[in-house]
Protein backbone atom coordinates (compact mmCIF):
# COMPACT_ATOMS: atom_id res chain seq x y z
CA UNK A 1 0.00 0.00 0.00
CA UNK A 2 1.48 3.27 -1.08
CA UNK A 3 1.14 6.38 1.03
CA UNK A 4 -0.83 9.41 0.02
CA UNK A 5 -1.73 12.54 1.94
CA UNK A 6 -4.16 13.91 -0.57
CA UNK A 7 -6.23 11.87 -2.99
CA UNK A 8 -8.56 12.96 -5.78
CA UNK A 9 -11.52 10.62 -5.97
CA UNK A 10 -13.84 10.27 -8.96
CA UNK A 11 -16.98 10.60 -6.91
CA UNK A 12 -20.49 9.97 -8.21
CA UNK A 13 -22.23 10.32 -4.90
CA UNK A 14 -23.56 6.79 -5.19
CA UNK A 15 -23.08 3.91 -2.82
CA UNK A 16 -19.82 2.50 -4.13
CA UNK A 17 -17.88 5.71 -4.29
CA UNK A 18 -19.28 6.85 -0.95
CA UNK A 19 -17.96 3.70 0.65
CA UNK A 20 -14.65 4.33 -1.09
CA UNK A 21 -14.55 7.89 0.20
CA UNK A 22 -14.93 6.69 3.75
CA UNK A 23 -12.55 3.80 3.25
CA UNK A 24 -9.89 6.15 1.88
CA UNK A 25 -10.22 8.44 4.85
CA UNK A 26 -9.96 5.56 7.28
CA UNK A 27 -7.35 3.48 5.52
CA UNK A 28 -5.02 6.16 4.21
CA UNK A 29 -5.73 8.82 6.80
CA UNK A 30 -5.69 11.16 3.84
CA UNK A 31 -7.41 14.32 2.72
CA UNK A 32 -9.91 13.45 -0.01
CA UNK A 33 -10.73 15.72 -2.95
CA UNK A 34 -13.94 14.75 -4.69
CA UNK A 35 -14.53 15.21 -8.38
CA UNK A 36 -18.00 14.84 -9.80
CA UNK A 37 -18.65 15.42 -13.48
CA UNK A 38 -21.76 16.20 -15.42
CA UNK A 39 -21.31 14.19 -18.60
CA UNK A 40 -24.99 14.28 -19.35
CA UNK A 41 -25.82 11.22 -17.29
CA UNK A 42 -29.05 12.89 -16.29
CA UNK A 43 -28.52 12.98 -12.54
CA UNK A 44 -28.44 15.89 -10.16
CA UNK A 45 -24.92 16.70 -9.02
CA UNK A 46 -25.66 18.85 -6.01
CA UNK A 47 -26.55 15.86 -3.82
CA UNK A 48 -23.00 14.67 -4.38
CA UNK A 49 -21.74 17.94 -2.94
CA UNK A 50 -23.99 17.58 0.09
CA UNK A 51 -22.80 14.03 0.69
CA UNK A 52 -19.19 15.01 0.33
CA UNK A 53 -19.62 17.74 2.87
CA UNK A 54 -21.18 15.23 5.22
CA UNK A 55 -18.04 13.11 4.95
CA UNK A 56 -16.10 16.15 6.08
CA UNK A 57 -14.68 17.07 2.69
CA UNK A 58 -13.62 20.71 2.67
CA UNK A 59 -15.66 22.88 0.32
CA UNK A 60 -12.56 23.85 -1.65
CA UNK A 61 -11.90 20.13 -2.17
CA UNK A 62 -15.22 19.51 -3.86
CA UNK A 63 -15.10 19.80 -7.65
CA UNK A 64 -18.31 19.58 -9.64
CA UNK A 65 -17.86 20.23 -13.35
CA UNK A 66 -20.16 20.46 -16.29
CA UNK A 67 -18.13 18.68 -18.93
CA UNK A 68 -20.90 18.01 -21.40
CA UNK A 69 -19.69 20.24 -24.20
CA UNK A 70 -16.05 19.21 -23.86
CA UNK A 71 -17.12 15.58 -23.75
CA UNK A 72 -19.06 15.64 -26.98
CA UNK A 73 -16.89 18.12 -28.87
CA UNK A 74 -13.47 16.72 -28.02
CA UNK A 75 -14.18 13.05 -27.45
CA UNK A 76 -17.47 11.78 -28.87
CA UNK A 77 -17.41 13.66 -32.16
CA UNK A 78 -13.76 12.93 -32.97
CA UNK A 79 -14.49 9.25 -32.36
CA UNK A 80 -17.52 9.23 -34.64
CA UNK A 81 -15.43 10.73 -37.44
CA UNK A 82 -14.03 7.23 -37.82
CA UNK A 83 -17.40 5.42 -37.76
CA UNK A 84 -16.02 3.75 -34.70
CA UNK A 85 -17.55 0.50 -33.52
CA UNK A 86 -15.92 -2.09 -31.28
CA UNK A 87 -16.35 -5.70 -32.36
CA UNK A 88 -18.83 -4.75 -35.02
CA UNK A 89 -21.47 -3.58 -32.57
CA UNK A 90 -20.52 -1.55 -29.53
CA UNK A 91 -20.52 2.24 -29.84
CA UNK A 92 -18.04 2.74 -27.00
CA UNK A 93 -20.27 4.88 -24.84
CA UNK A 94 -18.48 4.11 -21.59
CA UNK A 95 -15.01 3.90 -23.06
CA UNK A 96 -15.02 7.38 -24.54
CA UNK A 97 -15.96 9.11 -21.28
CA UNK A 98 -13.10 7.64 -19.27
CA UNK A 99 -10.21 9.58 -20.79
CA UNK A 100 -11.95 12.86 -20.04
CA UNK A 101 -12.46 11.85 -16.42
CA UNK A 102 -8.83 10.76 -16.23
CA UNK A 103 -7.74 14.12 -17.59
CA UNK A 104 -9.83 16.05 -15.07
CA UNK A 105 -8.61 13.89 -12.19
CA UNK A 106 -5.05 14.78 -13.14
CA UNK A 107 -5.88 18.45 -13.65
CA UNK A 108 -7.37 18.56 -10.19
CA UNK A 109 -4.47 16.61 -8.69
CA UNK A 110 -2.12 19.22 -10.13
CA UNK A 111 -4.29 22.06 -8.91
CA UNK A 112 -4.71 20.71 -5.37
CA UNK A 113 -1.29 19.19 -5.00
CA UNK A 114 -2.64 15.68 -4.54
CA UNK A 115 -0.23 12.77 -5.07
CA UNK A 116 -2.86 10.18 -5.80
CA UNK A 117 -6.13 9.57 -7.57
CA UNK A 118 -8.76 6.97 -6.79
CA UNK A 119 -11.77 5.53 -8.56
CA UNK A 120 -14.54 3.02 -8.04
CA UNK A 121 -13.87 0.72 -10.97
CA UNK A 122 -13.51 -2.95 -10.14
CA UNK A 123 -10.47 -5.09 -10.82
CA UNK A 124 -12.28 -7.13 -13.43
CA UNK A 125 -13.34 -4.43 -15.78
CA UNK A 126 -12.03 -2.15 -18.47
CA UNK A 127 -12.65 1.10 -16.64
CA UNK A 128 -9.82 0.71 -14.17
CA UNK A 129 -7.53 0.35 -17.18
CA UNK A 130 -8.95 3.37 -18.92
CA UNK A 131 -8.74 5.60 -15.85
CA UNK A 132 -5.25 4.53 -14.95
CA UNK A 133 -3.66 4.41 -18.40
CA UNK A 134 -4.94 7.93 -18.92
CA UNK A 135 -3.68 9.12 -15.56
CA UNK A 136 -0.24 7.55 -15.97
CA UNK A 137 0.10 8.94 -19.49
CA UNK A 138 -0.73 12.46 -18.36
CA UNK A 139 1.19 12.41 -15.09
CA UNK A 140 3.64 9.54 -14.91
CA UNK A 141 4.38 9.96 -11.21
CA UNK A 142 0.78 9.88 -10.04
CA UNK A 143 -0.22 7.25 -7.50
CA UNK A 144 -3.37 5.29 -8.13
CA UNK A 145 -5.53 3.84 -5.39
CA UNK A 146 -7.97 1.28 -6.72
CA UNK A 147 -9.89 0.13 -3.66
CA UNK A 148 -11.55 -2.80 -5.40
CA UNK A 149 -8.11 -4.28 -5.96
CA UNK A 150 -6.98 -3.57 -2.41
CA UNK A 151 -9.77 -4.04 0.02
CA UNK A 152 -11.64 -7.11 1.18
CA UNK A 153 -15.14 -5.80 0.45
CA UNK A 154 -15.34 -7.98 -2.62
CA UNK A 155 -18.92 -9.12 -2.29
CA UNK A 156 -21.97 -6.93 -2.30
CA UNK A 157 -22.88 -8.15 1.13
CA UNK A 158 -19.62 -6.95 2.66
CA UNK A 159 -19.97 -3.62 0.92
CA UNK A 160 -23.47 -3.11 2.26
CA UNK A 161 -22.35 -4.09 5.74
CA UNK A 162 -19.53 -1.57 5.59
CA UNK A 163 -21.95 1.11 4.41
CA UNK A 164 -24.38 0.39 7.18
CA UNK A 165 -21.65 0.37 9.76
CA UNK A 166 -20.46 3.80 8.63
CA UNK A 167 -23.87 5.35 8.12
CA UNK A 168 -23.70 5.52 4.35
CA UNK A 169 -27.19 5.54 2.86
CA UNK A 170 -27.98 2.63 0.53
CA UNK A 171 -30.57 3.83 -1.94
CA UNK A 172 -30.02 1.86 -5.07
CA UNK A 173 -31.78 -1.44 -4.98
CA UNK A 174 -33.27 -3.23 -7.88
CA UNK A 175 -37.03 -3.22 -7.70
CA UNK A 176 -37.21 -6.96 -8.22
CA UNK A 177 -34.76 -7.41 -5.39
CA UNK A 178 -31.11 -8.24 -5.36
CA UNK A 179 -28.30 -6.07 -6.58
CA UNK A 180 -29.13 -3.43 -9.14
CA UNK A 181 -27.68 -3.53 -12.62
CA UNK A 182 -24.22 -2.16 -12.87
CA UNK A 183 -24.90 0.94 -14.92
CA UNK A 184 -22.97 3.75 -16.51
CA UNK A 185 -24.49 6.74 -18.20
CA UNK A 186 -23.38 9.81 -20.07
CA UNK A 187 -24.62 11.82 -23.04
CA UNK A 188 -23.64 9.04 -25.41
CA UNK A 189 -25.22 6.06 -23.71
CA UNK A 190 -26.41 4.17 -20.72
CA UNK A 191 -25.11 0.66 -20.10
CA UNK A 192 -26.33 -2.31 -18.10
CA UNK A 193 -24.39 -5.28 -16.80
CA UNK A 194 -24.88 -7.84 -14.08
CA UNK A 195 -27.95 -9.52 -12.59
CA UNK A 196 -29.47 -12.05 -14.92
CA UNK A 197 -27.62 -10.54 -17.89
CA UNK A 198 -24.67 -12.52 -16.58
CA UNK A 199 -26.03 -15.47 -18.49
CA UNK A 200 -25.93 -14.61 -22.22
CA UNK A 201 -28.83 -16.89 -22.98
CA UNK A 202 -31.22 -14.78 -20.88
CA UNK A 203 -33.07 -12.07 -22.77
CA UNK A 204 -32.91 -8.64 -21.17
CA UNK A 205 -36.09 -7.72 -19.32
CA UNK A 206 -38.08 -4.89 -20.85
CA UNK A 207 -38.14 -2.99 -17.54
CA UNK A 208 -34.36 -2.60 -17.63
CA UNK A 209 -34.23 -0.12 -20.49
CA UNK A 210 -34.35 3.53 -19.49
CA UNK A 211 -33.66 5.91 -22.34
CA UNK A 212 -35.56 4.31 -25.18
CA UNK A 213 -39.12 3.18 -25.45
CA UNK A 214 -39.51 -0.31 -26.79
CA UNK A 215 -39.87 -0.35 -30.55
CA UNK A 216 -43.33 -1.78 -29.95
CA UNK A 217 -44.27 1.27 -27.92
CA UNK A 218 -42.76 3.76 -30.35
CA UNK A 219 -44.98 6.02 -32.47
CA UNK A 220 -46.76 4.38 -35.38
CA UNK A 221 -45.58 7.06 -37.77
CA UNK A 222 -41.97 7.42 -38.83
CA UNK A 223 -40.13 10.66 -38.28
CA UNK A 224 -37.65 12.23 -40.65
CA UNK A 225 -34.66 14.14 -39.31
CA UNK A 226 -32.21 16.28 -41.25
CA UNK A 227 -28.63 16.45 -40.02
CA UNK A 228 -26.13 18.96 -41.29
CA UNK A 229 -22.44 18.13 -41.20
CA UNK A 230 -19.35 20.30 -41.19
CA UNK A 231 -15.95 18.61 -41.35
CA UNK A 232 -17.51 15.37 -40.22
CA UNK A 233 -19.43 16.69 -37.23
CA UNK A 234 -23.13 17.39 -36.95
CA UNK A 235 -23.67 21.11 -36.49
CA UNK A 236 -27.41 21.37 -37.02
CA UNK A 237 -30.50 19.20 -36.52
CA UNK A 238 -33.58 19.93 -38.59
CA UNK A 239 -32.10 23.24 -39.59
CA UNK A 240 -31.35 24.41 -36.05
CA UNK A 241 -27.69 25.06 -35.34
CA UNK A 242 -26.65 23.52 -32.02
CA UNK A 243 -23.62 23.14 -29.82
CA UNK A 244 -22.06 19.69 -29.87
CA UNK A 245 -23.64 18.47 -26.66
CA UNK A 246 -27.00 19.87 -27.69
CA UNK A 247 -26.79 17.90 -30.92
CA UNK A 248 -26.32 14.69 -29.02
CA UNK A 249 -29.02 15.51 -26.49
CA UNK A 250 -31.44 16.25 -29.32
CA UNK A 251 -30.61 13.03 -31.11
CA UNK A 252 -31.00 11.09 -27.89
CA UNK A 253 -34.44 12.55 -27.47
CA UNK A 254 -35.44 11.72 -31.05
CA UNK A 255 -33.89 8.26 -31.01
CA UNK A 256 -35.25 7.41 -27.60
CA UNK A 257 -38.74 8.35 -28.68
CA UNK A 258 -38.52 5.93 -31.61
CA UNK A 259 -36.88 3.05 -29.78
CA UNK A 260 -33.61 3.49 -31.63
CA UNK A 261 -30.27 2.31 -30.26
CA UNK A 262 -30.82 -0.69 -28.02
CA UNK A 263 -28.07 -3.23 -28.15
CA UNK A 264 -27.49 -6.53 -26.41
CA UNK A 265 -24.12 -8.16 -26.84
CA UNK A 266 -21.24 -10.14 -25.46
CA UNK A 267 -17.96 -8.27 -25.71
CA UNK A 268 -14.33 -9.11 -25.10
CA UNK A 269 -12.80 -7.13 -22.27
CA UNK A 270 -9.18 -6.01 -22.37
CA UNK A 271 -8.54 -7.86 -19.13
CA UNK A 272 -9.23 -11.13 -20.91
CA UNK A 273 -12.80 -12.21 -20.21
CA UNK A 274 -16.03 -12.04 -22.13
CA UNK A 275 -18.77 -9.95 -20.65
CA UNK A 276 -22.40 -9.39 -21.49
CA UNK A 277 -23.69 -5.88 -21.74
CA UNK A 278 -26.80 -4.07 -22.83
CA UNK A 279 -26.60 -0.55 -24.15
CA UNK A 280 -28.88 2.27 -25.13
CA UNK A 281 -27.22 4.70 -27.53
CA UNK A 282 -30.08 6.43 -29.30
CA UNK A 283 -28.27 9.52 -30.56
CA UNK A 284 -25.05 7.71 -31.33
CA UNK A 285 -26.84 5.12 -33.41
CA UNK A 286 -28.35 7.86 -35.53
CA UNK A 287 -25.03 9.65 -35.73
CA UNK A 288 -23.15 6.59 -36.94
CA UNK A 289 -25.60 5.91 -39.75
CA UNK A 290 -25.75 9.53 -40.81
CA UNK A 291 -21.99 9.98 -40.76
CA UNK A 292 -21.52 7.00 -43.05
CA UNK A 293 -24.19 8.57 -45.22
CA UNK A 294 -22.46 11.91 -45.61
CA UNK A 295 -19.09 10.23 -46.12
CA UNK A 296 -20.54 8.05 -48.84
CA UNK A 297 -20.85 11.04 -51.15
CA UNK A 298 -17.96 13.22 -49.96
CA UNK A 299 -15.11 10.84 -49.24
CA UNK A 300 -12.75 9.37 -51.80
CA UNK A 301 -13.06 5.60 -52.11
CA UNK A 302 -9.53 4.76 -51.07
CA UNK A 303 -9.57 7.20 -48.17
CA UNK A 304 -12.83 5.65 -47.01
CA UNK A 305 -11.33 2.17 -47.28
CA UNK A 306 -8.20 3.24 -45.45
CA UNK A 307 -10.39 4.51 -42.63
CA UNK A 308 -12.40 1.29 -42.63
CA UNK A 309 -9.21 -0.74 -42.42
CA UNK A 310 -7.93 1.31 -39.49
CA UNK A 311 -11.22 1.59 -37.67
CA UNK A 312 -11.13 -1.67 -35.68
CA UNK A 313 -7.67 -0.79 -34.41
CA UNK A 314 -8.77 2.71 -33.48
CA UNK A 315 -11.84 1.30 -31.76
CA UNK A 316 -9.73 -1.15 -29.77
CA UNK A 317 -7.43 1.64 -28.67
CA UNK A 318 -10.37 3.56 -27.27
CA UNK A 319 -11.98 0.48 -25.78
CA UNK A 320 -8.73 -0.55 -24.11
CA UNK A 321 -8.06 2.87 -22.64
CA UNK A 322 -5.39 4.28 -24.94
CA UNK A 323 -7.04 7.59 -25.79
CA UNK A 324 -4.04 9.50 -24.46
CA UNK A 325 -1.51 7.23 -26.13
CA UNK A 326 0.59 8.53 -29.01
CA UNK A 327 -0.73 5.94 -31.47
CA UNK A 328 -4.32 7.09 -30.90
CA UNK A 329 -3.24 10.68 -31.44
CA UNK A 330 -1.43 9.75 -34.64
CA UNK A 331 -4.52 8.00 -35.98
CA UNK A 332 -6.65 10.99 -35.00
CA UNK A 333 -4.47 13.29 -37.06
CA UNK A 334 -5.15 11.12 -40.10
CA UNK A 335 -8.85 10.78 -39.36
CA UNK A 336 -9.36 14.50 -38.82
CA UNK A 337 -7.47 15.28 -42.01
CA UNK A 338 -9.90 13.13 -44.00
CA UNK A 339 -12.92 15.08 -42.78
CA UNK A 340 -12.12 18.38 -44.49
CA UNK A 341 -14.75 17.86 -47.16
CA UNK A 342 -17.22 15.84 -45.13
CA UNK A 343 -19.84 18.56 -45.35
CA UNK A 344 -23.49 18.41 -46.36
CA UNK A 345 -26.77 17.04 -45.10
CA UNK A 346 -28.30 13.64 -44.52
CA UNK A 347 -31.94 12.74 -44.02
CA UNK A 348 -32.66 9.83 -41.75
CA UNK A 349 -35.90 8.07 -41.05
CA UNK A 350 -36.62 6.87 -37.52
CA UNK A 351 -39.22 4.21 -37.04
CA UNK A 352 -39.86 1.67 -34.32
CA UNK A 353 -36.28 0.90 -33.47
CA UNK A 354 -34.62 1.40 -36.80
CA UNK A 355 -32.81 4.30 -38.38
CA UNK A 356 -32.27 4.50 -42.15
CA UNK A 357 -30.56 7.01 -44.36
CA UNK A 358 -32.96 7.94 -47.14
CA UNK A 359 -31.31 10.96 -48.77
CA UNK A 360 -28.08 12.95 -48.71
CA UNK A 361 -26.47 15.83 -50.55
CA UNK A 362 -23.41 18.05 -50.36
CA UNK A 363 -21.79 20.94 -52.13
CA UNK A 364 -18.63 18.83 -51.85
CA UNK A 365 -20.19 15.74 -53.35
CA UNK A 366 -18.00 13.39 -55.34
CA UNK A 367 -21.06 11.72 -56.81
CA UNK A 368 -21.05 12.58 -60.50
CA UNK A 369 -24.42 11.95 -62.00
CA UNK A 370 -23.24 12.50 -65.57
CA UNK A 371 -20.86 9.58 -65.22
CA UNK A 372 -22.96 7.27 -63.08
CA UNK A 373 -26.08 7.50 -65.22
CA UNK A 374 -27.57 4.53 -67.04
CA UNK A 375 -28.56 6.93 -69.79
CA UNK A 376 -26.22 8.13 -72.49
CA UNK A 377 -23.49 10.08 -70.71
CA UNK A 378 -22.33 12.02 -73.74
CA UNK A 379 -18.88 10.51 -73.60
CA UNK A 380 -18.06 11.42 -70.00
CA UNK A 381 -16.94 7.83 -69.48
CA UNK A 382 -15.42 5.63 -72.15
CA UNK A 383 -16.78 2.12 -71.62
CA UNK A 384 -13.99 0.66 -73.73
CA UNK A 385 -11.51 1.66 -71.03
CA UNK A 386 -12.94 -1.08 -68.87
CA UNK A 387 -11.61 -3.74 -71.20
CA UNK A 388 -8.01 -2.76 -70.58
CA UNK A 389 -8.69 -2.24 -66.90
CA UNK A 390 -9.95 -5.78 -66.54
CA UNK A 391 -7.28 -7.32 -68.74
CA UNK A 392 -4.42 -5.89 -66.71
CA UNK A 393 -6.07 -6.67 -63.40
CA UNK A 394 -6.49 -10.25 -64.60
CA UNK A 395 -2.98 -10.58 -65.98
CA UNK A 396 -1.29 -12.07 -62.91
CA UNK A 397 -4.04 -14.67 -62.58
CA UNK A 398 -3.86 -15.60 -66.24
CA UNK A 399 -0.10 -15.99 -66.09
CA UNK A 400 -0.45 -18.17 -63.00
CA UNK A 401 -3.10 -20.39 -64.52
CA UNK A 402 -1.13 -20.68 -67.74
CA UNK A 403 1.92 -21.68 -65.75
CA UNK A 404 -0.12 -24.29 -63.88
CA UNK A 405 -1.51 -25.72 -67.09
CA UNK A 406 1.94 -25.83 -68.65
CA UNK A 407 3.43 -27.86 -65.83
CA UNK A 408 0.34 -30.02 -65.72
CA UNK A 409 -0.25 -29.82 -62.00
Catalytic residue among 182, 296, 316, 354: 182
Judged by CB, which is closer to a copy of itself: 61, or 339? 339
98 given a catalytic annotation: yes
**Annotated binding-site residue? 16:** yes
**Annotated binding-site residue? 381:** no
Judged by CB, which is closer to a copy of itself: 6, or 352? 352
**Annotated binding-site residue? 361:** no
Angle at 181 between CA 177 and CA 184, to 5 degrees: 150
Angle at 290 between CA 287 and CA 293, to 5 degrees: 150
Judged by CB, which is closer to a copy of itself: 166, or 292? 292
Least distance from a copy of itself to the Cβ atom of residue 137, Å: 4
Catalytic residue among 16, 233, 262, 362: 16
Least distance from a copy of itself to the Cβ atom of residue 346, Å: 10
**Annotated binding-site residue? 87:** no
**Annotated binding-site residue? 298:** no
Least distance from a copy of itself to the Cβ atom of residue 172, Å: 13
**Annotated binding-site residue? 182:** yes
Measured in Å, how far apart are the chain's first and last C-alpha atoms? 69
Least distance from a copy of itself to the Cβ atom of residue 53, Å: 30
Catalytic residue among 127, 262, 275, 328: 127
Least distance from a copy of itself to the Cβ atom of residue 304, Å: 6
26 given a catalytic annotation: no
User: Which CA distances in Å does 320 have to 66, 98, 158, 317?
Assistant: 25, 10, 30, 5
377 given a catalytic annotation: no
Least distance from a copy of itself to the Cβ atom of residue 68, Å: 27
* Cβ atoms of residues 345 and 362 within 8 Å: yes
Judged by CB, which is closer to a copy of itself: 44, or 376? 376
**Annotated binding-site residue? 315:** no
Catalytic residue among 81, 98, 262, 328: 98
Judged by CB, which is closer to a copy of itself: 48, or 121? 121
Judged by CB, which is closer to a copy of itself: 146, or 188? 146
192 vs 346: CA distance, rounded Å:
31
Annotated binding site for ATP: 10-18, 37, 120
Positions annotated as catalytic residues are: 16, 98, 127, 182
Annotated binding site: 10-18, 37, 90, 95, 120, 122, 126-127, 130, 182, 191, 267, 279
Annotated binding site for L-citrulline: 90, 95, 126, 130, 182, 191, 267, 279
Annotated binding site for L-aspartate: 122, 126-127
Amino acid sequence: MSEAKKVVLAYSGGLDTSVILKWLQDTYQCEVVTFTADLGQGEELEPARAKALKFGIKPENIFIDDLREEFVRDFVFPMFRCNTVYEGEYLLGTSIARPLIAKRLIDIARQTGAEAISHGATGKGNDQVRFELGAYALMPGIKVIAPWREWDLLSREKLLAYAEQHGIPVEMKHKAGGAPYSMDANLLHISFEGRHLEDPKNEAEESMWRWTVSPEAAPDAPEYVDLEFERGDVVAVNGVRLAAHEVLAKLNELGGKHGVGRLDLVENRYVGMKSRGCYETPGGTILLKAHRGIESITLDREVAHLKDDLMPRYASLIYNGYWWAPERRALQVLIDHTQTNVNGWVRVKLYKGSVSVVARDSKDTLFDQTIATFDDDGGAYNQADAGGFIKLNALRMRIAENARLKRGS
